[in-house]
Every structure is written in structure tokens, then in C-alpha cells.
A and B are shown apart, each in its own frame.
Chain A
Amino acid sequence: AQKVTQAQTEISVVEKEDVTLDCVYETRDTTYYLFWYKQPPSGELVFLIRRNSFDEQNEISGRYSWNFQKSTSSFNFTITASQVVDSAVYFCALSDTGRRALTFGSGTRLQVQP
């Protein structure tokens, strides 16, 4: 069975601080995919990144960066110089290549104070 753990329920930072959201996953599959989604107060889930199990390269996109480490089954997400617009719930998710269904973590609520 697949499982995603986001141990941080809520994080509060002040604008311009860096913040890292943790994600730990469990799967018996050798090929799998990891995702991050953002859910602002409006409710719509916004896709941020997809990473497959064979690609451990870290990725940077503007203020966002992701660190994938298979050895520790982690896929952490860092926001550099956070902004108030980053306030949202962030979900880490896992999928295999068979069912293609997303298994979500419980989410981390990020509050960025001005």
C-alpha cells in the first residue's frame, strides 16, 4: 500500500523567510511518481511539480525548489523568500503507473504573515 506523510500540519512564517515543507512516502513500487499541489483558499488544486522515481535531480523553478532523496523516501519542497501569496495548503502526492490514482498526504497549511 502507498502512503504519504506530511508531518507539519501548519507552518507560520514572516514574509521573506525561507520555508521547507516535508514529505515522506512509502511504496513497494519501483516506478512511481511524486507530485506537489497548492490549494489556496479559493479551493482549486494547482499542480506544481511531477517527479518520477528514476530522476533524483533537484529542481528549481523561481522561488520554488524541490529535493528528492530516494534513500530517505523524501520529496521536500522549499519556498525561498516567501510571500503572502504563498499562503495555502500544500499537498504532496504519490502515484504508481498502474492505477494512476493520487495518494495525498494530509497537507501542510502555510501562513505567510506580512
Chain B
Amino acid sequence: DTEVTQTPKHLVMGMTNKKSLKCEQHMGHRAMYWYKQKAKKPPELMFVYSYEKLSINESVPSRFSPECPNSSLLNLHLHALQPEDSALYLCASSQLGQGFTYEQYFGPGTRLTVT
């Protein structure tokens, strides 16, 4: 089973709302990722969690707050977003190995619209 699930599929929120995106995988992967993808652009890395600890934050604004409650779950908490944050948010997971990079498996994404 190489499935990563994301909820919700679509989200419309106002600039003063607080919402959360959820991601789940049951492949036993110990690395999880959040990417942001604008239309007609490649995905851009936002955060990486390794063994449930935040290992990379690509200078993402604090209105995006990631959380990894356990090895299968990854959340992205959203607060006071701007219209330019409207995008497809992709979650991914991969195995971890010393000196080795495994492929990442992606979820279907959450299409976020900020009004």
C-alpha cells in the first residue's frame, strides 16, 4: 500500500479563519513533507519531519504551523492567511536511511483558496 491520504480535498477560508490540513500514511515511513504548489509551477518544499521532529523549515511564514503528532500523521495549521497563499498543498512521505535517499510518495493534495 503506497497511499498517502489528505483531507480536506478542497478548502475555502477567509483571511481571519483558522483551519488545519491533515495528512496520513500507513507505510511505516519516518519522514514526512509539506509542499506548496502554485498553478503551472513545480512543488516547493515547506517543511520536513524526520522521526517526528522538524528537520527542515524553508523559511515559511509563521502563519503556517506544522505538527507531527505521531509517525503516521502530519498536520498543517493555518492562521491569518493571505490570498497569495492560495495553492495546492501536497503532503509526502518516504523511508529514511543513513546515506540513502528514498523516493517520496505524495498525497492527492488540498486545494486551498483564501478569500
Contacts and interface: CB of A to CB of B under 8 A. Distances in A.
B66 interface: no
Contacts of B42: 91, 104-107
Interface in B57-115: 58, 88, 90, 92, 94, 96, 99-109, 111
Interface of B: 31, 33, 41-43, 45, 48, 56, 58, 88, 90, 92, 94, 96, 99-109, 111
B99 A47 contact: no
Contacts of A104: 42-43
Interface residues of A, number: 24
Nearest to B45: A101
A44 B109 contact: yes
A42 B101 contact: no
A37 B106 CA distance: 10
Given A43-B111, A99-B56, A104-B42, A50 B99 contact: no
Contact of A100 (B31, B58, B105): B31
Given A97-B99, A100-B31, A100-B94, A47 B104 contact: yes
